[in-house]
Chain A
């Protein structure tokens, strides 16, 4: 029944050591999003894909990259994690970017940077 799946659920990495977070979806949705959420804060959109079209938010640091090799999968790469990158990373999907469309969220990956 899982629709948006994120792996791993918890990730521990070292300062400066690259890390990749994974998201997959069984909904066949065209749009996939990555959000960063720090404790007691609202989610912050990092980027999204509309099909293969990549859209980077203006204030997303260059340290964050993303790949979408096919409709079902999307990856978040953090090239050199800093202590400030410790957060919950949420993946979401929507059928299309239409104004009335709901986003479906995965359970999140909690990243800890040592």
Chain B
């Protein structure tokens, strides 16, 4: 059974720092992995989707990597800003689950001005 883990559960860093969020998964039989952002009391916004055949995807200050063999993904945020404060969730699209995304519980990120 696929399990997705995000450590740490919470992270607080000063503004301007580069930072890395981690996501690990136990079963490498995935179609893709997605990173989402969730602001307090709000829905989720898709940030990046990495197909299983890809190694990384970039959007602006965000870079997501995928190492399927080791079951790891990272989300790199460059030059962090207070507006980046949110909870970041990763989710994998499992090959044997058809529709379902398997989610991590998220990392709550606080960027201190």
**Chain B, interface SS category:** strand
Minimum CB–CB distance from B93 to chain A (whole Å) comes to 6
Q: Which bucket holds chain A's interface residue count?
A: 20 to 34
B101/A106 in contact, CB under 8 A: no
Choose among B44, B105, B106, B108 the residue that contacts A90 (Cβ–Cβ < 8 A): B44
Measured CA separation A57–B4 after assembly (Å): 19
B44/A55 in contact, CB under 8 A: no
* B residues less than 8 Å from A6 (CB atoms): 43
Minimum CB–CB distance from B110 to chain A (whole Å) comes to 14
- Per-position binary interface string of chain A over residues 76-114, scored 1 when its CB falls under 8 Å from any chain B CB and 0 otherwise: 000000000000101010000101101111111010000
Measured CA separation A33–B98 after assembly (Å): 13
Choose among A42, A106, A107 the residue that contacts B103 (Cβ–Cβ < 8 A): A42
B43/A48 in contact, CB under 8 A: no
A100/B49 in contact, CB under 8 A: yes
Interface presence of A70 (CB below 8 A): no
Q: Which bucket holds chain B's interface residue count?
A: 20 to 34
* B residues less than 8 Å from A99 (CB atoms): 31-32, 93, 95
Q: Interface centre among B44, B89, B93, by most A CB within 10 Å?
A: B44
- Per-position binary interface string of chain B over residues 88-99, scored 1 when its CB falls under 8 Å from any chain A CB and 0 otherwise: 010101010011
* A residues less than 8 Å from B4 (CB atoms): 42
Query: What are 29 A-B residue pairs whose CB atoms fall within 8 Å in the complex?
Result: A6-B43, A31-B99, A40-B9, A40-B105, A40-B108, A41-B105, A42-B103, A42-B104, A42-B105, A43-B44, A43-B89, A43-B101, A45-B99, A45-B101, A88-B41, A90-B43, A90-B44, A99-B95, A100-B51, A102-B46, A102-B49, A103-B46, A104-B46, A105-B36, A105-B45, A105-B46, A106-B43, A107-B42, A108-B42
Q: Which residues of A come within 8 Å of B, CB atoms? A: 4, 6, 31, 33, 40-43, 45, 48, 50, 55, 57, 88, 90, 92, 97, 99-100, 102-108, 110
Q: Which residues of B come within 8 Å of A, CB atoms? A: 4, 9, 31-32, 34, 36, 41-46, 49, 51, 89, 91, 93, 95, 98-101, 103-106, 108
